[in-house]
Chains A and B, each alone.
Chain A
């Protein structure tokens, strides 16, 4: 992508991603409510929540947690910026890992038992999905011979047809990434749970709002990766991404949480069978 276009894409991403992410979150809550037989909040409720959090008084355990959350938000934004500028997909994923580490360290820094267990489980989640994420990039390289998002996106064949196993594997770990049941072990959107709010127990007001916004950015980035599987036709790609998200909501509402052992075990087995299987198939062709 030329410099100007890349810059434009990054600016559009920085401005639009939270709006899209927030709307998706609103629709998510509405659909979830309907699946549970409730009426549900308005679609714009996530925005109302975030504005309200912003205005709240700032209570903290220590000042470092504010700093770490700031870094978390910044590096999540950088992740998406690398992606939508058409940059190196692996670099984007490594930037996201850095952001996640800031998020985890923020929880640790509070020295709170609930946040602590949440942080440990968050690391388990990352360990569970990371291999499949890397294998996804490996698979995309094997087909397109490039790590750059721009080359992968402009490849003339839909990747889905050469990477069916990897696509399914990626869908599987998306459930963990979107923090949906049965894999929402480190924190969850649902009410009372055994670890209170897990990682985010000690965050309130502005920091909680920043975490929410960071997740919107992250979700848009993840759906962007889903779109790559059908990037040769943008309309189908967006439909595919939305269907994927609907599927995740459906899974979320039809499962109860599992133990961390199941999260790690199932994610790695899926990565080994679907991910490595797909790669081995491509390598042997």
Chain B
């Protein structure tokens, strides 16, 4: 209980400290210390609760509820003020409607609302807390060195680093609150704070595009927030409860509509189609922000909520139909964003599309809600958080050294920046190859889907093929053996090196210990909900571990080749020297190679429209079924 409160409040205290103490040395000390403290605290929480099952806490008082309400209104007022200042009337209107709904609800029912258990811990919250505590604070650590470099590269951006770190730590605190909240009103409070935090982070540079994209993210997430708010009101008025754990026990007549509304909120937050554009727009923010939004916070809050709704889809009468349409939004998103990733040259956009696709897969799993898919969905959350933060941060480091983040510029990165490139190879392999994590969960997802609904498996079959294409061509670019330009010197700050190394090791470590995570965390959790758990086939686990062992050991062969007979590559007999050849008119030309982007087939324009239309139709049907 105290650890839970500590994990929510400590980041907020750190946030205020960083705001009032802007000195670099002080910030370094606080951030480094907080990384250690948050990691230890979240591990300690795991030690405390991993074998206890779900534990509920009665913590809370009426005064606290009033406090939360006042804070919510104050934040709403700030957001409305900023929106009006930028003439963003739609954002102001959405916030205003939200504030009015909250105020009306508080005035009309405030006195009657009583939640027995405001906070709780179970294995899913523990997993989320570990992701937030470890990966989130590693990203903050990375940002220490990165933000110095960032302002070195962007002279016209006003240096607001203390504010930046303030928001980052508030974000982490709010995320922890979100995963420990059982009272939906509290959950909503933390939910809205994450929306505001991402708004401030996306708009950090304050230039025109950043501001526009920040408001787009704000509007879409406020719209989702309205759905959340409506769900709470409907639920309380009709079922007299605001507790998350009560949802699967309610009658289908009162629970289906609020669950559809909550799923809608989850869909906006996890950037599913038709709301995917806010996450793509978020790319304008400094890279640690992207890493944070994509891996441990924000979008993970969206899928976390939908995963929490899974039991409703599974057990409440009629829930399966609502769940099916949630799943189909995920399936369409997975398929189309995997396709669109093929046509992207900007590394961060590829990563963004891949994030949206993987979230789609998680939503797909959660929507169907069988116990196998619950297992797959949670595993996807874990593996994705680690590998994706590694990739985003690596791209940030590479961008500062190469001057851009176009994949075409990363030819031969393995000779230019070997360590970072190896980290990226691990990250990319982690995203789609056996025996790494994402593939393990995708495999479980596929097997679960075939058993539950084979037609949904078709989406995964086609989407996975596209996934292989865009990752492999990037992998190929990184691993080209090119001559290193003589004047190239890579500069990587120590804090970045530390974070990247830790994340690379974590990516591999989690693949090695996933049977343990499954046995001690997921199996008891899923059994407590479904009565039986997804059991890993021991021989398959053994095969995966053998493959992993081989992948770790085989590179040693590289050290043992000794003297070899090297010859330059075949350039139709016109080689001048390595990588140069005689072109027409006797000119010496450099070898250059460009990848396939297949824009005519997988271009954004057509596919995006298709996705928006089909997902809107699916969401409307979802609401129709909910009513």
Contact = CB atoms under 8 A, between A and B. Distances in A.
Interface of A: 57-64, 66-67, 70-71, 74-75, 78, 82, 87-88, 90-91, 94-95, 97-98, 101, 104-105, 107-116, 119-120, 123-124, 126-128, 130-131, 134-135, 138, 141-142, 147, 196, 201-202, 264, 268, 271, 275-276, 279-280, 282-283
Contacts of A110: 481, 569
A115 B569 contact: yes
Interface of B: 411-412, 433-435, 439, 443, 446-447, 450-451, 454-455, 457-458, 460-462, 464-466, 468-469, 472-473, 475-477, 479-482, 537, 539-540, 543-544, 547, 550-551, 554-555, 557-558, 561, 564-571, 579, 591, 593, 595-596, 601
A283 B566 contact: no
A62 B481 contact: yes
A208 to B, nearest CB: 14
Contact of B455 (A101, A114, A126, A279): A279
B433 A97 contact: yes
Interface of B (DSSP majority class): helix
A195 to B, nearest CB: 11
B567 A59 contact: yes
Given A101-B475, A134-B461, A109 B481 contact: yes
Contact of B468 (A57, A63, A130): A130
A219 B550 CA distance: 23
Given A66-B561, A82-B543, A111 B569 contact: yes
A127 B466 contact: yes
8 contacts: A61-B566, A88-B537, A124-B469, A131-B458, A141-B447, A141-B451, A196-B570, A279-B458
Given A70-B557, A87-B540, A131-B461, 6 more contacts: A60-B564, A60-B565, A120-B473, A120-B595, A123-B469, A138-B458
B569 A283 contact: no
A264 B601 CA distance: 10
A120 B144 CA distance: 39
A196 B571 CA distance: 10
Contacts of B566: 59-62
The 3 lowest CB-CB distance pairs between A and B, nearest first, are A108-B476, A112-B569, A130-B465
Contacts of A64: 479, 481, 558
Nearest to A268: B462
Given A63-B558, A87-B543, A91-B543, A138 B481 contact: no
B571 A113 contact: yes
Contact of A90 (B443, B481, B539): B443
A82 B596 CA distance: 33
Given A71-B554, A108-B480, A111-B412, A202 B569 contact: yes
Q: Which of A114, A116, A280 has the most CB of B within 10 A?
A: A116
B446 A90 contact: yes
B568 A61 contact: yes
A135 B557 contact: no
Given A135-B458, A283-B455, A94 B439 contact: yes
B570 A112 contact: yes
A253 to B, nearest CB: 28
Contact of A91 (B433, B434, B555, B596): B434
Contacts of A276: 455, 458
Nearest to A119: B476
A111 B557 contact: no
A101 B451 CA distance: 29
B368 to A, nearest CB: 14
> For the complex, would chain A's binding face be called helix, strand, loop or mixed by DSSP majority?
helix
A108 B477 contact: yes
Contacts of B461: 130-131, 134-135, 138, 271
A170 B451 CA distance: 21
B550 A97 contact: no
A95 B547 contact: yes
Contact of B591 (A66, A74, A113, A271): A113
B567 A126 contact: no
A82 B537 CA distance: 14
A279 B454 contact: yes
B9 to A, nearest CB: 44
Contacts of A104: 472, 476
Given A91-B434, A276-B458, A282-B454, A131 B443 contact: no
A67 B443 CA distance: 27
Given A59-B567, A62-B481, A134 B464 contact: yes
A111 B468 contact: no
A131 B479 contact: no
Contact of B469 (A105, A113, A127): A127
A283 to B, nearest CB: 5
A190 to B, nearest CB: 18
Contact of A70 (B457, B554, B595): B554
Contacts of B593: 111, 113, 116
Contact of A123 (B468, B551, B571): B468
Q: Which of A82, A109, A127, A147 has the most CB of B within 10 A?
A: A127
Contacts of B455: 276, 279-280, 283
Contacts of B475: 101, 105, 108
B479 A108 contact: yes
Contacts of A108: 475-477, 479-480
B547 A78 contact: yes
A134 B566 CA distance: 40
A115 B571 CA distance: 11
Contacts of B439: 94
Contacts of B412: 111
Contacts of B595: 120
Contacts of A282: 454
A130 B450 contact: no
Contacts of B481: 61-62, 64, 109-111
Contacts of A280: 455
A207 to B, nearest CB: 11
Nearest to B477: A108
Nearest to A202: B569
Given A58-B564, A130-B465, A141 B476 contact: no
B457 A138 contact: yes
Given A60-B566, A131-B465, A283-B455, A138 B450 contact: yes
